[in-house]
Structure 1
């Protein structure tokens, strides 16, 4: 007699992708367990800016713990040539990841997911009937399907064999905001185009804190640190109390990187799913996580073949956006001054505004004839990310 698996769906990792997956699977009726190595609420290095796409996905499930609503953006070019654009509608919603993720955790638990925290997953295995998740203490559990959402350096990503073609280092500090900071920065973010190709910095206001960070290609650690130091000095923020100082790597998948291996599938950062130019990942995590949870619940009933629906969703909805992001990153890396100037034009601002508000994807931006022509002339690198299908 074949033993019944302990769960229908086991989700490894409780960031936005894993939390969305666990809620979706549990809501679909699957016996679901959500596993995380930490305990919520916990700090997570992240700008914490929700674009409209993310807000639309999160708001029906949770009361979004907003720290600020952004309606204007100040653009600078390596600290110079500043100008500010204003929108009639909110552009971004600022959250702290400990608060945002904890709210998503409670939603997953309310949907019926069992939550196991302070549990480090060390290994995965599978056979014809189930997948086995083994913890650091040697204890294990079984599930019909495992969803990996433990980050690009996690166990599940390595198990599935995800490969990455773009890797970037982000450095970030959380500063205590003074009364003057709050008055000057409330409702407004700052984006700075850095001198190193493909780099940029940001200032995100979150009520009593300012999140200041920079990002550029991995392998330039000293340059990244220097950029952050210079950026803080230019902003006049050197004297602020530093509440947290952290760094993280972001990784974009190669076009042919797998998303599944038998009964195991990966979502969010573990799958290398994020927007290559802005490195925005929360909307990708929420979307891919929800799809993974829905498909996993279906596979628990119908068999492992149902998991084929997950790569198809990624291929249809996310790969075109990532392809467009790669092209825009190529243009930005070569022509940051022109990108800066474009944000001051009605066409450039409307496109960026619509992307932030969730009305226009990166792929849709590039479908606009003037932008498509301009990107082609400026050396956008074609359809690299769509050369091979997601699988």
Structure 2
């Protein structure tokens, strides 16, 4: 077995979180090794929606890898007539995750990050002054390890950091349709709130296909596949071919989530930082990486503070917001019909949602704007 040493940081996972951290540390001149179990570029089952607020976190343009630019969201309840939420500027950029993730990783490599793909980590051991990360044929030593390896994070599992997580179950297909059918979805996303009990279904357009999927809380996923098929059949898209299809778990954290331990940090999905209301995880994947970078720099240079600062920052800037999203998600899950009625009859609600997508406000501000639970109940009673 080959022993490799002298890496400042080893990042496990080359998705948006891992690639962004490698990029941010590269800008600071910090050496990073990224271990990725698959060969890049690799397919990732994902709707592939990068919100404008997520894109705006990056200091480079992603338009080169955008499949479509979304300016309209069509909301329906149980396959009924849509409410169209529109905006003059981009709300969402759709991407194929194999292309997008590889694009981010290449940015990091330009700044000196080293990528070893096709390297599945099998063991992680914390020592007194270092961490040893083992694969089938190599062992790597680092001053710290960062888990950016998604819902099934080996870092979280090996270090017993995988508590405080609930899961959303999602299924999705990449569906090739006729050009005329594809053109109907140009710049428009579809979200149905009623056909999936405890969740929602979606259509995200890409250049040559539609990403069509559905998700709900894992505890309510018994009939997810059947209801997904119902949604797919309702779309009237004519002849189509399923190019790829898959299912996956989306982790969302609960109270007391541990994202730091000793010489290890967790980012993005590995930390359970997915939005429990929308199921969107790219924004917090990028943001958690950007929050971790200065903490890691301070740790490596011996400046004030330690890696525990990352836990405090994430608790303050991300977990608090996810707590509010979880509260709002309860309304969507329990009262999808009424939520749709509010949305379709009150432009104020769409304006608030649009601001969240654009990054102009957050869930806490939205909750305050509508008056919390009393305000929501008041709107329901006025319908």
Fold match by TM threshold 0.5? yes
Displacement, 1:361?
Answer: 1.6
Matches of 1:175 and 1:63, distance apart in 2: 23
1:362 alignment partner in structure 2: 363
Query: Alignment RMSD, CA only?
Result: 2.2
Question: Is residue 2:225 matched to residue 1:213?
Answer: no
Residue matched to 1:239 = 239
Give the 3-state SS of the residue equivalent to 2:189 in structure 1.
Answer: strand
Aligned position for 2:286: 286
Structure 1: stretches of 5+ with no match in the other structure: 380-391
Partner of 1:71: 71
Inter-partner Cα distance in structure 1 for 2:105 and 2:64: 12
1:264-279 maps to which residues of 2 (within 5 A)?
Answer: 264-279=264-279
What SS is found at the alignment partner of 1:14? coil
In 1, Cα distance between the equivalents of 2:364 and 2:177?
A: 37
| Rounded Cα–Cα distance in structure 2 between residues aligned with 1:90 and 1:320 | 27
Asked if residue 98 in structure 1 is aligned to residue 98 in structure 2, the reply is yes
CA deviations 1:274-326 (Å, max 9, x no partner) are: 11110110000000022223322321221795212211221121112101111
CA drift of 1:195 comes to 4.2
Match status 1:348 vs 2:349: yes
Q: Which residue of 2 aligns with 1:7?
A: 7
Give the TM-score normalised by the residue count of structure 1: 0.91
CA contact (8 A) 2:195 2:231 kept: no
Q: For 1:238 and 1:303, how far apart are their aligned partners in 2?
A: 61
Partner of 2:40 in structure 1? 40
Counterparts of 1:152-301 in structure 2, within 5 Å, are: 152-158=151-157, 159-237=159-237, 239-301=239-301
How far did 1:59 drift? Answer: 5.1
Whether the 8 Å CA contact 2:197–2:220 is kept in 1: the answer is no
- The secondary structure found in structure 1 opposite 2:353 is helix
CA distance in structure 2 between the partners assigned to 1:62 and 1:77 by the alignment: 32
Could you tell me whether the CA contact under 8 Å between 1:76 and 1:192 is conserved in 2? yes
Contact 1:13/1:36, CA 8 A, preserved across alignment: yes
**Take 1:311 and 1:246, find their aligned partners in 2: how far apart are those partners?**
33
Q: Is the 8 A contact 1:17 1:288 kept in 2?
A: yes
Give how far 1:346 is off.
1.0
Q: In the TM superposition, what whole-angstrom CA distance separates every residue of 1:199-221 from its partner, at most 9, and x where no partner exists? A: 10100111211000000121444
* Residue aligning to 2:55: 55
Paired residues of 2:370 and 2:376 also in contact (CA < 8 A): no
Unaligned runs of 5+ in 2: none
TM-score (norm 2): 0.92
Cα distance in 2 for partners of 1:346, 1:338 equals 15
Q: Is the 8 A contact 2:4 2:140 kept in 1?
A: no
**Structure 1: distance between partners of 2:31 and 2:85:** 48
Report if aligned partners of 1:34, 1:116 keep a CA contact under 8 Å in 2: yes
Change (3 A) 1:5 1:373: farther
- Kept after mapping to 2: 8 A contact 1:175/1:241: yes
The yes-or-no answer on 1:374 pairing with 2:375 is yes
CA distance in 2, matches of 1:323, 1:14: 27
SS of the residue corresponding to residue 349 of structure 1 reads helix
Could you say if the C-alpha distance between residues 175 and 196 of structure 1 is closer, same or farther in structure 2, counting changes exceeding 3 Å? Answer: closer
User: What displacement does 1:374 show?
Assistant: 2.6
Correspondence 1:130-145 to 2 at 5 A: 130-137=130-137, 139-145=138-144
Aligned to 1:389: none
Question: How much has 1:257 moved relative to structure 2?
Answer: 2.1
**Deviations 1:149-202, CA, capped at 9 Å, x for gaps:** 111212111124122442111000101132112221101111001345431010
2:4 touches 2:139 (CA, 8 Å); kept in 1? no
